[in-house]
Amino acid sequence: MKKQLQILLIEDNHALASQLVSFLEGIGWQVDYASSGKLGLKLAQQQPFDVVLLDLNLPDIDGLELCETLRATVDIQLPILMLTARDAYQDKALGFAAGTDDYMTKPFDLREMALRCEALARRRELFVRQSLEIGALKLCRRQRQVWWQGLPVSLTNTGVCILEKLMENHPYPSSRRELITHLWPQDEPESNVLKAHIYTLRKSLEPVIGYSIIHTISSIGYQLKDLGTTECSDSPENVNHVQVIR
């Protein structure tokens, strides 16, 4: 089953944007739309995306400048696909120099665009951190194991999955919708099921940590806080811990 991608579309042509959103949502992806560069940058800074579709001819910020800003202030590994009518070699060279991962000239085949998005998302997955580390909290993806200050924490598989998503999004909150989609992409459970799993996760973490690190953000979802700054050298061998940088 193909992964449901989270797409940020930055495009000032409303007719084209509507067509793109309709197509992408039609194949099961989630799309956030910005009609200006400033709004697109704000959305990218507020939540994580799998791919950004970026038009170059924006009304407020040049697309090349916005691409460079996204690289510098959001996530250097965030896949960016430029969509533009500028088809000259020099335009493409400037696009790649600004930091884009791929480049498509208008008009283009929507199916090909989707294939390129999937390829960019897969490429990013190849370089995804095998281990997440924020302060005193560590999570190994491969072993599905969690440690606090070097002490192992026993969690259910669902608990590890929730914590993984919260750590990926840190320091930003994770919405309830995002967590539900991450945990149950096919069959969405009743609304109180996520709440029950969050409760179980908190109760599993608190005896080791001494307090709750999962905070409820009203009308949004959940966020990790108070993760400590202790660095421990007692991590299990053969675990490649990498500091999370946002």
Look up the CATH number of the domain holding residue 79. Answer: 3.40.50.2300
The strand pairing partners of 10, in sequence order, are 34, 54
Residues 120 and 140 in one domain: no
Residue 245 pLDDT class (50, 70, 90 cuts): very low
Residues 45 and 120 in one domain: yes
The per-residue pLDDT for range 173-198, each reduced to its tens digit, is 999 888 888 888 767 777 689 999 99
Show which of 73, 103, 126 is a domain's final residue.
126
User: Is residue 1, in this structure, part of any structural domain at all?
Assistant: no
Contacts of 64 (CB under 8 A, 6+ apart): 56, 94, 95, 98
Which stretch of 26-30, 123-127, 148-152, 155-159 has the lowest confidence by average pLDDT?
A: 123-127
Mean pLDDT of the chain: 85
Q: Does position 238 have pLDDT exceeding 50, yes or no?
A: no
The per-residue pLDDT for range 86-95, each reduced to its tens digit, is 989 999 999 9
Residues 122 and 143 in one domain: no
Radius of gyration of the chain (CA): 20
Q: Does position 1 have pLDDT exceeding 90, yes or no?
A: no
